[in-house]
Each structure stands twice: as structure tokens, then as C-alpha cells.
Amino acid sequence: MFRIVHTRQISDAVFEMGVEAPRIARKAKAGQFLMVRVAEGGERIPLTFSDWSAEEDWIRFIYMRVGKTTHQLSHLSVGDELADVVGPLGTPTHVEGVGRVAVIGGGVGAAVAYPVARAMSAAGARVTVILGARNAELLVLEDELRALPGVTVNVVTDDGSAGEKGLVTAPLKRLCEAGALDHAFAVGPAIMMKFCAATTAEFGVPTTVSLNPIMVDGTGMCGACRVTIGDQIRFGCVDGPDFDGHLVNWEELMSRQRVYVDDERVADADYQRECSCHK
Amino acid sequence: MSQVDESGLSGQTPAEKPRHKPSRAPRTPMPERAAAVRRSDFEEVAFGYSAEQAQAEANRCLQCKNPTCEQGCPVNIRIKDFIAAIIDGEWTDGVEILKERNALPAVCGRVCPQEEQCEASCVLAKKGEPVAIGRLERFLGDHDLTCDLEHRCTPQIAEPSGKRCAVVGSGPAGLACAGELARLGHSVTVMESLHAPGGVLSYGIPEFRLPKAIVAAEIEMLEVMGVTIECDQVIGRIATVEDLMTEEGYDAVFIGSGAGLPVFLGIPGENLNGVYSANEFLTRVNLMRAYEFPTSDTPVWRGRKVAVVGGGNVAMDAARTALRLGAEEVFLAYRRTAEEMPARKEEVHHAIEEGVEFKMLCSPVEIRGRDGWVTGLVANRMELGEPDESGRRAPVCVMDADFEIECDTVISAVGTRANPLLHDAAPDLELNRRGYIVTDENGATNLPGVFAGGDIVTGAATVILAMGAGKKAAAGMHRWLTDA
């Protein structure tokens, strides 16, 4: 069991949770993820580290309340326990020698963008963060990102309620046009990553994306997370989650992410009916 | 309990015992649930022998002077003696004899391919039907599990050696190794990457063939013997083998991480929705209990028409699981004929009984789909040609893309390979060309104090071969720990 040591509601549907996990905290690296199972009978869901402390033995992750499991998570408090937390999984993000880099975080993708920007900056990169969300309410970790030394932050919202109005691809394109980028790193909804990769491809800027396919075990055992990269089938959990954005088969990824939408609705509806604390 | 009797093969019986007169009755059938009933639920297929049935079957044993059956057993169980105990009605003695050599008798009695091992070597098999050794093993194993924990047969544990061993992976190899090391007096910690121990016994083999309560009960016994099991520990990520030997202070490490990575067919359409690796399909259903969805939280796509590709036990498990999830039709596509199938005869028989339709000499070349979902499996018609390296006649294509099986689900059960995480666990470990660990005859790897066994050494094989390898490595580790 893993004891919860921190909870924070970031926005209406976005939360941060910290758990005591000394072994994981000692090994965590930017870009890696966890598999979390809330309780007996629960599903295993992949969640990316937002922060960790090897000295204080904790790890943190950010999640959006979308289905049954994330609803359950949001109802837990400090002192409660999670049945299982497994990690650190996946290959760490390559942060060395990326030069002038744009780190694009869309929605809860900012949870990954934050440690990646921090690690790249620490490794000597010149980091411009492009933080995007549908509206100001849904912006995640803006203050933390702004507090990173030497990191520039551009905020973009669909409705213009914060920062620039529009899509993250607009400032990304400007950076490309100015010839001010050696590398881009994008994490967020698949559709956003697809368009970021399409934007940088025009300018030949190498682009890493952090994919979020469906996973079951997260350790390479099942292949649910397989993605097509160029002409190769790769596993998101062990070969990724980072891949060359210009080689990803985006249509396939987005189609595969929708396999269980009906089931997820059933599970969530069932839970909402049964859960007495949820009004 | 007596010391392990290494001369067991010569098979002495106490002189004062009355001569055993073998019965000439036919092999006692295994009581089973009717196919029409069992194909729609996940309860176990076979009930197991009653005491009367077990004794009737045991009485068929000739109690040979030279019990050849024992040479057929990968862990050298003293088969003759445990059968003699059943003849005498001494269940506890029988369990003790089994547990000298096999920590998981209730598991092995169910899933070992006895027809290729002990039963194939039974003298009776030459002229008729061999003694049902596997069913007798299961009878004793189950008998032990009906007792309270404190009354169950616990192997005698040697004096503590003061040595600490880490076992990576809690599948058959790891559990057998852990049990043996504990018996020899070493402190053992098993590290499992999933949230439940058992490896393939938990995620792979379905409930209707191996109830998870049986797996849990056998593992509980290991814990009584002092073995610690830590779940959620992915070695290679949370710690390397070197970390275990240095920072964490283990004196020896056994790697039994299995051949976990599924192989796909390498044909167009493989990433359509509705295409599963058998590993994913079975993990969702067995480990995550998707058949209880939405009571359990993990869903599985329940196909109406399901095509399973492959001819091994995993293919049979997947096909029979698909039936139980409510499929109207389940096809099994195999490129050779039923004769060449690597699956156990019993599993093939059960699958046919339950209504799985076998499409033989059929080699898939494409998965067709519409709107991202599977609609059919296109296959070549094959015939059998000359024998290949495996000794089986090789399938040769006679008709390209000859036919299409209409289906909404395709499950690929064509094998597994080594997980690349292994390289992160121990970068200096010597691997062969296929990515499996190279060991000597004692299970020792090229790294001092690091041993390995099971599928991660041999490639995908059986539960009992993995257990045999785990035990052998435990003996090697014991020598290494006590010589040092």
C-alpha cells in the first residue's frame, strides 16, 4: 500500500496527488510514468510524474478527473492509501544537448512538460515553454513553470481567457520561422501533438512527443500500447513513451485510444450512482 | 520429513509391506462439468478425483521396481512412492513426498503436460492407458489445500544460513526457486512487477483451468515457509541487479522474469481495434478480471466472432476464454494440422467440445477492417511439406489469400520473446542472439552470484520446465552461497 501525503485541486477537474514511495522517488527521471491501481478490483492506469523528492521519499502526479478511477482518486485524502503504485516506467526523456528547445504542454500534459522543462534547463538547454489549455481555468502548473530559472513561458488558451488566444501551434510556428529552435518536445492530447509535429516538420525541427496510448500492465507484457513509428511497431510502455513526432501514425493512435469509450462511460455511470459521497 | 532422497529412482519399499496387486480396471475418467454448461462461465472445468476415484486409479499402478515415470518428471518427483501412499490411504504421507520435490502440486497436477512426461514414461502406456499421475498429484495437492494453514504440509526448513537471496519474478521459476532456497535456510525476497504474484499462473492461465484461489493458497504456503513477496517492483526500473547485490545487500539473485513480450504476426491490419495479443486478452480477463466488468474496472472488447491465431496452449486458453465472454463463434486458425499442434491434447479436446471451430492449414496474411475496427482475417491455404528443424512437417502455401474469415476480433497467440527491460536490469548480463539469458548447467549466468531460469533462459516453455529450472538454479545458488 502507498500512503497519500499530498493532495491539491488545481482546477475544477485537475488534481495533484503525492504518495510515499521511497524506492520510486530515488529512481524517477523526467518523462517517465507510473501505473496506479486505486484499490482491489481496480484498473491500472498510467500517470506521469509531475515531481518527486528522493530526500523526502515522495512522488507526485497530476491527473484529470475523467472516469471512474480518476473520480475515485479525487475522493481520497492525505493519510488514505493507494493499493498499487508501480514505476518509474518508460524510457526517460532525452534532455542532454537539446540546445534551444520549445516544450509544449497541453492540458494535463503540462504535468509532463514541467519536469521535462526543468531537466532540460538544468542540462543547459534554452527552454521556451508553450503552455496551452481550453481556458484559463484549465491551465496547469503555470506558476511552477514560471518559477524555473531561465525558462520563458508563453500561455495560450482557446478562448483567450489567459495569454494568447488560439492554439499552441501559433507561437511554435513563430519560433520555427525565427529560426530559434533546435528541438521541440510536445506532450498533451494526441491531436495537439499531431499538429505540433506537423508544424515543426515544415521547418525540419526534430520533435519528440510523449505518447499516451492505452496500457494494461505498463511493463511490456501485453502490447496494448503498441504504436506505429515509421514502419515499425513499438510499445509505448517500454520503447516510449517518447517517440519521434514526425514518424508517429497519429490516426491509428487516436483510433486505438477510443476502443473502450463506451465501457468507460458504463463504469463511470455505475460509480456515480453508487458513490454516496459524490453529489 | 525425510531428507531429499537422491536415490529415489531405485525405488525401495519397506520389506514388511504386503505385495501390491495392481487392478486391471481402465483409467479412471476425470469428472468434468458438461461442455454446454461450462462454456458460459469461468468456473473450473474438471472437478478432480474423489478419494475413492483416486484410490481406484492409484491401484492401477504396477509399483514398478524401476519406476520409469520418475525419469519423465522434470523435477524428479518420487511418483511411485506418492502413489503407494494413495493406495494406503495415507494422504499426508503422499503430500509430503510430493512437496519434497514440488512446491506447487495443486498447480502442476492441473497444468503439467503429463502425457508427454511422467505418463508417457509409464509402463502401462506401452500397451494401454498410463496411470493418471497428474490427476493423482492434483488429488493430493487439493487435499493439502483443504487443511487449515497450520495443518498443511510444511517442508522442513534448514537452520538459517544468514544469506539473503533476491528472486526476480514470481512465476513458476521464481516460486520454485524461492521455495527451494527457503527450505535450504536462506532468507528469500521475491520481487514481482505486477500487483499480484504468480506470473503466468495469475495473468495467463485462465480461472477455468487453474483457479486463482489455488495459486494464492500455494503461494501462501511459501510465505509460511518464510518467503517474502513484494509486488509492484519492476527490476530494471526500480533497481538493477547490481543495486540488489550492492545497495540492498543481497548475496545472490535469481532472474526468472519470463518471456513476457508478445510477438505479433507482422501482417497488415494488426493495429486495428479488436486485435489483441493473447497476453493482453488473457491479462485483461485473468489478472484484471474483465469478465466481471463493470464490477471490476478493466474492460475487454467482447467479440461476437473471434479468430484466434496459433496452436499452443495459449491459443486454446484465448479461444475458450472468448467463448466464455459470450462470443457466438470462435475460430482457431493454425497453419499446420491438429496433429502438429503444440497444445496439450486435453486442451484441444476441451476446446472442440466447447465449440471452438478449428481452421487448419490456414496461415493469416492480412487483417481487414472498416472505420478502424476488425472485419475479417484473410488467410492462405497451406499444405504440409517436408519436416523442418523442429521435426514437424512445414506448412507450404498452396493458395494465396484464398479465403477470408469474417470476424470482429483477432487474437494473436503466436509466441513471446524476451522483454527489453532485462537489459536495463543487468546491462552486463550475457544474452544469446534471441535475447535470452545464457546460463551454465547450474543456472549460473556470467555475473557472479546471479542465476537465471525459466522462459527467460529457454524461451517460452511449460510451467514445470520453468519450475525445474528454478529448483536447479536454487541448488546452484546454495552451493555458491555456502562455498563462498
Whether the per-residue pLDDT at B16 is higher than 70: the answer is no
Whether the per-residue pLDDT at B2 is higher than 50: the answer is no
Closest partner CB to B195 (pick from A37, A69, A89)? A37
Q: What is the bridge-based pairing of β-strands A2-9 and A81-82?
A: antiparallel
**Measured between beta carbons, which residues in chain B are less than 8 angstroms from residue A226?**
264, 271
**Measured between beta carbons, which residues in chain B are less than 8 angstroms from residue A23?**
233, 238-239
Q: What is the pLDDT of residue B145?
A: 92
Q: Which of B168, B170, B237, B272 to mutate to test the interface with A (most CBs of A within 10 A)?
A: B237
Angle separating helix axes B313-324 and B345-354, nearest 10 degrees? 20
Q: What is the pLDDT of residue B17?
A: 63
Cis peptide before A206 (omega within 30 of 0): no
**Measured between beta carbons, which residues in chain A are less than 8 angstroms from residue B261?**
220-221, 223, 235, 238
**Measured between beta carbons, which residues in chain B are less than 8 angstroms from residue A42?**
296-297
Q: Which of B232, B279, B367 to mutate to test the interface with A (most CBs of A within 10 A)?
A: B232
Q: What is the pLDDT of residue A13?
A: 86
Mean pLDDT of chain B: 91
CA distance B141 to B150: 15
Class of domain B263-416: alpha beta
> B262 vs A258: CB contact, 8 Å cut-off?
no
> B271 vs A228: CB contact, 8 Å cut-off?
yes
CA distance B303 to B288: 18
Residues of B with CB under 8 A from a CB of A: 193-195, 203, 231-234, 237-239, 260-262, 264, 270-271, 273, 277, 279-280, 283-284, 288-289, 292-299, 301, 372, 419-421
Report helix, strand or coil for B274.
coil
Cβ–Cβ < 8 Å for B358, B334? yes
Whether the per-residue pLDDT at B26 is higher than 90: the answer is yes
Q: What is the pLDDT of residue A277?
A: 55
Cβ–Cβ < 8 Å for B403, B381? yes
CATH number for the segment(s) B8-151:
1.10.1060.10
**Measured between beta carbons, which residues in chain A are less than 8 angstroms from residue B237?**
27, 87-89
Q: What is the pLDDT of residue B201?
A: 95
> A238 vs B237: CB contact, 8 Å cut-off?
no
CA distance A23 to B239: 8
Measured CA distances, A247 to A116, A213, A223, A233 (Å): 21, 16, 19, 11
Whether the per-residue pLDDT at A272 is higher than 80: the answer is no
Mean pLDDT of chain A: 92
User: What's the pLDDT band for B1 if we cut at 50, 70, 90?
Assistant: very low
Residue A272 vs residue B44, higher pLDDT:
B44
Neighbours of B482 (CB within 10 A): 12
Q: What is the pLDDT of residue B484?
A: 58
Average the pLDDT over B141-151 and give the result: 89
Domains along chain A? 2-89 (2.40.30.10), 100-256 (3.40.50.80)
Q: Which of A221, A239, A275 to mutate to test the interface with B (most CBs of B within 10 A)?
A: A221
Measure A42 CA to nearest chain B CA, in Å: 5
Bridge partners of A156, per DSSP, are: A132, A164
> What are the grid coordinates assigned to B86, written together?
494413495
User: What's the pLDDT band for A126 if we cut at 50, 70, 90?
Assistant: very high
**∠ CA B238-B239-B241 to the nearest 5 degrees?**
150
- Give the range with max mean pLDDT: B261-265, B403-407, B449-453: B449-453
Q: Please, what's the largest Cα pairwise distance for chain A? A: 56
Q: Which of B297, B309, B421 to mutate to test the interface with A (most CBs of A within 10 A)?
A: B297
**A196 membership: H or E segment, kind and range:** helix A190-203
CA distance B380 to B335: 9
Q: What is the pLDDT of residues A69-78, one digit of tens each?
A: 999 999 999 9
> B234 vs A264: CB contact, 8 Å cut-off?
no
Whether the per-residue pLDDT at B9 is higher than 80: the answer is no
Q: Please, what's the largest Cα pairwise distance for chain B? A: 77
CA distance B113 to B106: 14
User: Phi and psi of B184, rounded to 5°?
Assistant: -85, 5
Average the pLDDT over B182-203 and give the result: 96
Whether the per-residue pLDDT at B97 is higher than 90: the answer is yes
Q: In a 10 Å sphere around its CB, with 0-12 CB exposed, 13-18 middle and 19+ buried, how is residue B27 labelled?
A: middle
**Poorest-confidence range of A201-205, B99-103, B123-127, B315-319?**
B99-103
Name the one residue in this structure whose C-alpha cell is 509531475.
A50
Q: What single letter denotes the amino acid at residue B227? A: V
> B237 vs A27: CB contact, 8 Å cut-off?
yes
CATH number for the segment(s) B164-260+418-483:
3.50.50.60
Interchain CB contacts (distance < 8 Å): A and B = 116
Residue A132 DSSP symbol: E
Residue A273 vs residue B66, higher pLDDT:
B66
- Dihedral of CA atoms B4, B9, B13, B15 in degrees, nearest 10, equals -110
Whether the per-residue pLDDT at A165 is higher than 80: the answer is yes
Closest partner CB to A43 (pick from B194, B237, B288)? B288
User: What's the pLDDT band for B420 if we cut at 50, 70, 90?
Assistant: confident
The helices-and-strands tally (H runs, E runs) of chain B is 16, 15
Average the pLDDT over B436-459 and give the result: 95
Q: What is the pLDDT of residue B389?
A: 83
What is the value of ipTM here, to two decimals?
Answer: 0.92
Q: Where in chain B is the domain with CATH 3.50.50.60?
A: 164-260+418-483, 263-416
Q: What is the pLDDT of residue B15?
A: 52
Name the one residue in this structure whose C-alpha cell is 495467463.
B204
DSSP string, B133-150: HHHHHHHHHHHHHHS-GG
Neighbours of B171 (CB within 10 A): 28
CA distance B170 to B220: 13
Name the one residue in this structure whose C-alpha cell is 533476491.
B166
Cβ–Cβ < 8 Å for B269, B374? yes
Residues of A with CB under 8 A from a CB of B: 23-24, 27, 37, 41-44, 68-69, 83-89, 216-217, 219-224, 226-228, 233, 235, 238-239, 249, 252, 255-256, 258-260, 263-264, 266-267, 270
Average the pLDDT over B377-402 and give the result: 87
**B156 membership: H or E segment, kind and range:** none
Q: What is the pLDDT of residue B4?
A: 42
Closest partner CB to A259 (pick from B237, B264, B273)? B273
Name the one residue in this structure whose C-alpha cell is 484529470.
A64
